[in-house]
Structure 1
Amino acid sequence: MVYKFTILSDEVDDFVRVIKIDADATFYDFHKAILKACGYKDDQMTSFFICEDDWEKREEITLEDMGKSSSEEDVFIMKDTKINDLVEDERQKLIYVFDLLTERSLFIELSEIIPGKDLLKAEIARKEGKAPIQTVDFETAMEKTLKNRMDNDDLDDSLYGDKDFNDDELDLDGFNISEGNPYDDSNY
């Protein structure tokens, strides 16, 4: 059985990759196919996440065992986990985090299941647009995040308080402050 995955980015609008891969292949094989399709180097820690329909992350499949999970939690390693162990249904959503420091990701959906066929190695079936750059400087990413927050119309001065604050609305009794009287340290 062959799985056909469609891969998109929230950073680059015209970026699309479609990868066909055997359902019995490992997540490591899929990882290598994504690196090749995007022109990325294999020098970063990455993870796949199996997601709910609303992209909420569930199971994580890591490149290497980081020893961070509790004994109750299953640990999935890319080289040891077949894709069809965790992905069975069309429209299944996955996230591929390719830059863990800044949590930059690709969004993946199983767009088609092709029964009765096998693939020895993954194929790039469609390649459009330029891939997002693989890594960004952490400070640059933080500046971009802050700029986006400042440019976002949903966030304004009212986030931190009413920009039309009126001094008359302040309850000085609640702070044990007398209005207009100079500080007298003899009371202390």
Structure 2
Amino acid sequence: MVYKFRIISDEVDDFIREIKIDSDASFYDLHEAILKCTGYKDDQMTSFFICDDDWEKEIEITLEDMGAGSSEEDTFVMKDTRLSELLEDEKQKLLYVFDPLAERVFFIELSEIITGKDLQHATCSRKEGNPPQQVIDFDEQMKKMDSSLDLDENFYGDQEYDMDDFDPDGYDIGSGGNPYDEDKY
């Protein structure tokens, strides 16, 4: 069988990739196909997540076994997990975390299952738009944010005020008494 995946991003409106891959291929093969069709480097600790219909994460498939899960939980590693082990229905949803530090993802849907066919290698059958930048440079982002802020003297409000607005008599300052004294009420 051949799985056809549609990949989109919430960062770039016109970005779409469609990948056809054999159902017996591994999640690592799909990972490599995504990197190839986006031009991304293979230098991030990426993960796939099988999701429910509301894109809530259910099962994680990691690039490497980090040994962080409990012994009772199944650990899925990309190279050891066939697509057909976890994917069996059209419209199944996945997330592909391509920038783990900023938690940026691609939204993937198993858009079609083609029976009676096999593929030797994954192919990108549709390529529209440019992918988002692979990783965010936080220093660069901070520089952009700092330069876009206009912190003039009026940033915190009106700098002109009347000292009479701060009349100490109005605040009962210096009386030294208990503000909850029952005799006052």
TM-score when normalising by structure 2: 0.77
2:38 aligned partner, one-letter code: C
> How far does residue 67 in structure 1 lie from its aligned partner after superposition?
1.1
Structure-1 separation of matches of 2:136 and 2:124: 25
1:87 aligned partner, one-letter code: L
Say if 1:55 and 1:93, in contact at 8 Å, map to a contact too: yes
* Cα pair distance change 1:101/1:181, threshold 3 Å: same
* Cα pair distance change 1:65/1:112, threshold 3 Å: same
* Cα pair distance change 1:45/1:144, threshold 3 Å: farther
Q: Which residue of 1 aligns with 2:86?
A: 86
For residues 100-121 of structure 1, give each alpha carbon's deviation from its aligned partner in whole angstroms, at most 9, with x where no partner exists. 0000100000000000000001
Q: Which residue of 2 aligns with 1:11?
A: 11
Structure-2 separation of matches of 1:12 and 1:62: 25
Q: What are the within-5 Å matches in structure 2 for residues 122-137 of structure 1?
A: 122-137=122-137
Say if 1:101 and 1:138, in contact at 8 Å, map to a contact too: no
**Structure 1 unaligned spans of 5+:** 146-178
> How far does residue 40 in structure 1 lie from its aligned partner after superposition?
0.4
Structure-2 separation of matches of 1:74 and 1:183: 68
Say if 1:47 and 1:62, in contact at 8 Å, map to a contact too: yes
RMSD (Å) for aligned C-alpha atoms = 2.2
The SS at the match of 2:44 is coil
Q: Which residue of 2 aligns with 1:66?
A: 66
For residues 28-87 of structure 1, give each alpha carbon's deviation from its aligned partner in whole angstroms, at most 9, with x where no partner exists. 000000000100011111000000000000100000011111112111000000001001
Length, aligned pairs only = 153
Q: Is residue 2:101 matched to residue 1:101?
A: yes
Structure-2 separation of matches of 1:78 and 1:38: 19
Q: Which residue of 2 aligns with 1:116?
A: 116
* Cα pair distance change 1:32/1:22, threshold 3 Å: same
> How far does residue 137 in structure 1 lie from its aligned partner after superposition?
1.5
2:74 aligned partner, one-letter code: D
Structure-1 separation of matches of 2:101 and 2:128: 26
Q: Which residue of 2 aligns with 1:148?
A: none
Say if 1:102 and 1:138, in contact at 8 Å, map to a contact too: no
Q: Which residue of 2 aligns with 1:33?
A: 33
Q: Which residue of 1 aligns with 2:77?
A: 77
Structure-1 separation of matches of 2:42 and 2:118: 26
> How far does residue 182 in structure 1 lie from its aligned partner after superposition?
2.3
Q: Runs of at least 4 residues of structure 1 off by over 4 A?
A: 139-145
* Cα pair distance change 1:11/1:139, threshold 3 Å: same
